[in-house]
Amino acid sequence: MTLELIDYIFDHTGVDLKINPLPASELKALEIVADGDVNLLSCYLKRRISGEPLAYILGFIDLDGLRIPVDKRAYITDPEAIYLVQHLKEVLGKLPSQKVLEVGTGCGSLSFYLEHHCPEHQYWAVDIDSNPIDLARDTAQKRDSSIHFVVSDYFMGLPAEYTPDLIFADPPWGNESSIYDDDRPASHYHSMPGISVWPFKSITGIHEQIVDAILLKGWGCPVFMNFGMLDADSIWAAIHRAPHAELIQAAKNVTLAKLTF
């Protein structure tokens, strides 16, 4: 962003990027989506300075080069979730056609990523909130995707005859005092739908309930879940009811769990 443009915006709108600095990468991204419209750029800058998450302003999530639409109806996929789907891409790449089920899909970004890279499989994705499911269905239509998006509290909304071959999930974890960092302050999470941000019961409540729901169904498939930067004791406490489990250190401070039922 040129100094002349910064000065112009300040002179005409009061946005002073010297007082309210934004990372150069964010400024560049906002300038690109504004596409030369100074009025739009000024609107975007004020929205970002006020704390609105960048992805809502841009209108998409970038997953390893794949852009998936997102808006305020859906949780913004955390960047570390890429390690979950990259691992699954390797797993699914070695398997014949599988029925793959995502729990808590949101805008569908992770399922779209897997379908893009491993299209030979059959994908279903569930979410408790109808609003992101509507968004995901819109995206699926535009992408000519065959993913089945279903409003469901865990597995209650799935057809009775449906049995997955593999399940994966990137559930929310933590609480209001534990999940913030410099890159994602409180305002980042409070801008998103509460049902998608805070787990019930405990900091790993949704992970635990996924395990319980699978046991109730009697399914015997492998399950992959992202636990982010949670410590090993918290993870083992959340998955102790699974018959077999192993932890996968996908990256520094990113732990995945593979459960076998």
Look up the domain containing 41 and give its range.
3-50
Q: Are residues 28 and 79 in the same domain?
A: no
Q: Is 100 helix (H, G, I), strand (E, B) or coil?
A: strand
Q: Quote the pLDDT of residue 175.
A: 63
Burial string for 230-251 (b: 16+ CB within 10 Å, else e) reads beeebbeebbeebeebeeeebe
Bridging pattern class, strands 166-169 and 99-103: parallel
Q: Are residues 85 and 138 in the same domain?
A: yes
Residue 30: inside a domain = yes
pLDDT band at 220 (very low <50, low <70, confident <90, very high): very high
Q: What's the total number of domains in the chain?
A: 2
Q: pLDDT (tens digit, 9 = 90+) per residue, 20-46?
A: 788 889 989 999 999 988 889 889 998
Question: Max alpha carbon distance in the chain (Å)?
Answer: 65
Residue 204: inside a domain = yes
Instruction: Provide Rg for the chain, Cα atoms.
Output: 20
Q: Quote the pLDDT of residue 126.
A: 98
Residue 55: inside a domain = no
Residue 67: inside a domain = no
Q: Are residues 34 and 142 in the same domain?
A: no
CATH value at residue 162: 3.40.50.150
Q: Classify residue 76 as exposed, middle or buried by CB count within 10 Å of its CB (0-12, 13-18, 19+).
A: buried
Q: Are residues 125 and 238 in the same domain?
A: yes
Residue 192: inside a domain = yes
Q: Are residues 94 and 219 in the same domain?
A: yes
Q: Are residues 39 and 79 in the same domain?
A: no
The residue ranking higher by pLDDT, 46 or 100, is: 100
- Residues 191, 99: Cα–Cα separation, whole Å: 34
